[in-house]
Structure 1
Amino acid sequence: MHTIWKGSISFGLVNIPIRLHSATEDKDISLRTLHKECHTPIKYEKVCPVCNKQVEKEELVKAFEYTKGKFVVLEDKELEELKKVNEAKAVEIVDFVKIEEIDPIYFMRSYYLSPNEGGGKAYTLLRKALQESQKVGIAKIVIRSKEQLAVVRVFENTLLMETIYFPDEVRAASDVPNVPAETDVSKRELDTAIMLIDQLTTEFEPGKYHDDYRTALMELIESKKNGETVIPKERDVPESNVMDLMAALQASIDKTKGDEPKKPAAKKKRAAPAKVKKKA
């Protein structure tokens, strides 16, 4: 597994040399943009619209736009100095908390941590201490010139670091438009909805979920490579104009009755949250 960062984990006076490895990978299929006439990939050139000319790499500078059309230019040397001051190669654990206290909205990207030379015993100590205490570490780390808040926890006998958003990076739910206030829901509707949830409740098995769109896209690509004509199969789309909520709930329950019974979910302690993919 490729090492993307080397440094250490520190908590108190304990220092553990570690390596960082990406725990996930983006499986998106990348498509190129071609000229329709000759199938040549299109080049995207940097052009100044005022000077009306192409700009070379050495002519570019970085800047912050503090108001529309007004910039503060930052020199590469200034950015490098700032980076050196702040980019200590350490994952500094500043607090320990229960993972149940962290809402999944904060989670970003996962990284495996492996011990570097001489760090095996201290690595094992931290892993066992986290397991026994049922806590996770809240840490700070600088990755790619950006300070990140992170959670250090145990996943399948391996230390895992998950970067999380700072509180001011999470938008307030109260700002979401058109969220209804309390609406009258009948007891019958609520009971039926809960019944539907119960019938669809099972144990979480990650292996049974697949990216159907990516699979279909790869099949289309392979077929076109072989000169075959493919007509994509239409998927059943539920009607969106059902006005009778109770009828929709009952129809959903009736549909689940014909499916294979689901294995009831075992009551267990909350596992670490699964993340929707976001950009690191």
Structure 2
Amino acid sequence: MHTMWKGSISFGLVNIPIKLHSATEDKDIKLRNLHKECHSPIKYEKTCPVCEVEIKNEDIVKAYEYSKGKFVVLEDEDLEKLKQENEDKAVEIMDFVKIQEIDPIYFNRSYYMSPGDGGGKAYSLLRKALETSEKVGLAKIIIRSKEQLAVVRVYENTLIMETIHYPDEVRQAADVPNVPAEDKVTDKEIDTAIMLIDQLTTEFNPDKYTDDYRTALLELIEAKRTGKDIVTPVEKEPAANVTDLMAALQASIDKTKPAGTAGTETKKKPPAKKKRASTKTKAKKQA
């Protein structure tokens, strides 16, 4: 497994040499852009719109646009010095908290942590302490020239570091448009929705879920490559256009029931309509 960061992490006076390894991988299928006429890959050149010339990497400097059209130029030497001043420090666990206190919206990327030379015992100590206390550590680390807030926790007998967003990087939920201020639903609708949730509740098994789009795209690419006929998949049955909320919930419940149980409930009979009085009865009353 490739090492993408090497350093040390400490809590109190305990110092652990560690290596970070990416815990996840991007399996998106990357498609190239070709010229339609000759199928040549498209080149993306860096050009200066004023000088109208192609620019080489050594002719490019980094800058921050503090207002429209006005920049502060940052030299590579300044950025490298700033980076080294922070990276040379050992990563220190600042606080310990319960992971339930951190909303999932904050989590970003995951990295496995392995012990460096001579760090096996201290690694085991931190792992056992986190397991026993049921806490996670909060630390700061510089990864790819960006200071990250990170959580250190145990995952399948391995320490894992998960970078998390700073509070000012999470947009305010209050800014989301058109969110209803109040729940305008009936008790019956709520009970039916909970019934549907109960029917769909199961234990989480990640192997159950697959990327159907990526699989279909790979099959399409392979069919194109080998010159085979492309079979059009059978379309899913279109969803019923149900506008009534209760009808939609009931239809969902019926759809998720085990085979042979749908429609077995005893439906309440509508109240019997009163018989209309006959003409003779009306005549007697009038008399």
Q: Which residue of 2 aligns with 1:20?
A: 20
What CA distance in whole angstroms lies between the structure 2 residues aligned with 1:147 and 1:237? 49
Could you give the per-residue CA deviations for residues 209-233 of structure 1, whole angstroms, max 9, x where no partner exists? 0000000000001111110232442
Residue 155 (1) aligns with residue 160 (2): no
Residue 70 (1) aligns with residue 70 (2): yes
What CA distance in whole angstroms lies between the structure 2 residues aligned with 1:162 and 1:238? 41
Pick the structure with greater CA Rg. 2
Q: Which residue of 2 aligns with 1:115?
A: 115
What CA distance in whole angstroms lies between the structure 2 residues aligned with 1:61 and 1:238? 54
What CA distance in whole angstroms lies between the structure 1 residues aligned with 2:110 and 2:57? 33
Task: Report the CA distance shift for 1:51/1:174 in structure 2 as closer, same or farther (over 3 A).
Answer: same
Q: In structure 1, list runs of 5 or more residues that go unmatched.
A: 262-280
Q: Which residue of 1 aligns with 2:253?
A: 253
What CA distance in whole angstroms lies between the structure 2 residues aligned with 1:250 and 1:238? 17
Q: Which residue of 1 aligns with 2:137?
A: 137
Could you list the structure 1 runs, at least 4 aligned residues long, displaced by more than 3 angstroms after superposition. Answer: 237-241, 258-261
Matches for 1:1-280 after TM superposition, within 5 Å: 1-88=1-88, 90-233=90-233, 235-236=235-236, 239=239, 241-258=241-258
Deviation of 1:240 (Å): 8.2
2:25 is paired with a residue whose SS is: coil
Identity of aligned residues (%): 73
Task: Report the CA distance shift for 1:240/1:75 in structure 2 as closer, same or farther (over 3 A).
Answer: farther
Task: Report the CA distance shift for 1:35/1:91 in structure 2 as closer, same or farther (over 3 A).
Answer: same
Deviation of 1:237 (Å): 6.8
What CA distance in whole angstroms lies between the structure 1 residues aligned with 2:161 and 2:39? 43
- The count of residues paired between Structure 1 and Structure 2 equals 261
Amino acid at match of 1:54: E
Q: TM-score, normalised by structure 2?
A: 0.87
Q: In structure 2, list runs of 5 or more residues that go unmatched.
A: 262-287
Q: TM-score, normalised by structure 1?
A: 0.89
What CA distance in whole angstroms lies between the structure 1 residues aligned with 2:260 and 2:90? 50
Q: Superposition RMSD on alpha carbons, in Å? A: 1.7
Structure of greater relative contact order (alpha carbons < 8 Å, 6+ residues apart):
1
What CA distance in whole angstroms lies between the structure 2 residues aligned with 1:101 and 1:18? 26
Deviation of 1:136 (Å): 0.3
